[in-house]
Amino acid sequence: MSAVTALLVAAPAAQAADTPLRDLAAAKGKAIGTAVTGSKLTGTYGDLAGREFNWLTPGNAMKWGSVEPSRGTFNWTEADQIVDFAEAHDQDVRGHTLVWHSQNPNWLDNGTWTPAQLRQLMTDHIALEVGRYKGRLAAWDVVNEPFNEDGTFRPTLWYNGLGADYIAQALTAARAADPAAKLYINDYNVEGVNAKSTALYNLVKDLKARGVPIDGVGLQAHLILGQVPSTFQQNIQRFADLGLDVAITELDIRMQTPATDAKLAQQRTEYEAVFKACVAVSRCTGVTVWGFTDSDSWIPDTFPGEGAATPYDANYRPKPAYYGIVTALGGTVTEPPPPTGCSAAYSVQSQWNTGFTGYVTISCAAGSSLSSWRANWTFGAGQRISQAWNAVCTQTGATVSCSNAAWNGSVPSGGSVMFGFNASWSGSNPVPTVTLG
């Protein structure tokens, strides 16, 4: 490798806030939550989930298809695990979700039911699940995603079989099963003032007028970088003015990958804006992020080519978005010192049961540059690279060496280049240290 005034140094470790996010949120009278996967609530993932958040939402464990995959056969293992973890860490739990068009068991979706049978199935399910956790869960997303984008009711098993009043019936059943739990209707693309959010507004206004038990609305906030609605706070306020609580229930802000410094800086600004909108409205109870680490995010599998949507990277390091949350909640952080020289940073952008996609970013601080480069690391758990792009990579045993392609050897002062690879893993996927040389 040849270098022009290049000093090779390790990338500085990201720093977290001295005060956990949950304490900052509590000082503002707000909740900060995360969706979790029960099987992962150990090690670093469990430590962060317990330390930083005061609410947990089971990502999938309480959905009908998870708890009753065969009629009359129940699996509460993961749901119980999450509730037990929350109680051990002085956290509240948001139940998610009771009545939805998706992730239902096949026997339910494929059955032929009369309206009376369908209503009984729905109310029995609510009575059973809410009753199981009576007194242990603070809130429930009772009805999830009832609307189309134009504000009409979504044609679902429930709407087609029972009409729009299935919503009132579900809420009534949930109140009977646990009078103390807060009951919500939850939907996406309702964060700003639009046709869909107005339909939700009109629905909950009508439900309250009829005396149907409803405590709040959930605005999911699966957002896209650069598209945070300008009417976010205004929309929260109009629901609050109905005498309802508002929760931001599933926040993530996705981008086209790979992430860049500019995209991550914009994401920080937008996370901060979302949290500030909630802080500004007294009846906004708090914000839940839909997974706190990119390694546990649903985005890459659902939106190929997109990701990096959460406040922590796949290696549990806080991203700029994390600092945006801290700032919005009135906290301070000690951010990493400005880098000097040139350095390499390794990240896992997505991971599945047998493989993962990784990236290495080579950056030069102001005053340093490279005319060519080679990045080296040693895998610690038998990982094997199968494909690389924007670099020529070789692997001998556990040792990997990647050199620049013909078109990206030059790294200017204050600039960076990135290359990626696919690899396999088994058992664990620890992050190696990358050196330049």
The single residue listed with the structure tokens 């080519």 is 305
Question: Among 78, 145, 250, 272, which one carries the catalytic annotation?
Answer: 250
Question: Is residue 250 among the annotated active site residues?
Answer: yes
Q: Counting Cβ atoms within 10 Å, is residue 160 exposed (0-12), middle (13-18) or buried (19+)?
A: middle
Residues 6 or more apart whose CB falls under 8 angstroms from that of 72 comprise none
- Give the length of the chain: 437
Q: Please, are residues 297 and 252 in contact by the beta-carbon 8 Å criterion?
A: yes
Residue 166 CA to residue 248 CA, distance in Å, equals 24
Residue 242 CA to residue 236 CA, distance in Å, equals 10
Residue 250 CA to residue 35 CA, distance in Å, equals 8
Give the single-character DSSP code of 39: G
Q: How is 121-172 classified by DSSP, letter by letter?
A: HHHHHHHHHHHHTTTT-SEEEEEE--B-TTSSBP--HHHHHH-TTHHHHHHH
Three-class DSSP category at 303: coil
**Whose CA is closest to 348, among 317, 373, 325, 323?**
317
Give the single-character DSSP code of 213: -
Q: Please, are residues 171 and 214 in contact by the beta-carbon 8 Å criterion?
A: yes
Three-class DSSP category at 163: coil
Three-class DSSP category at 417: strand
Pairing of strands 416-424, 355-364: antiparallel
Six-digit token string for 59? 């990502």
Residues with a catalytic annotation lie at 250
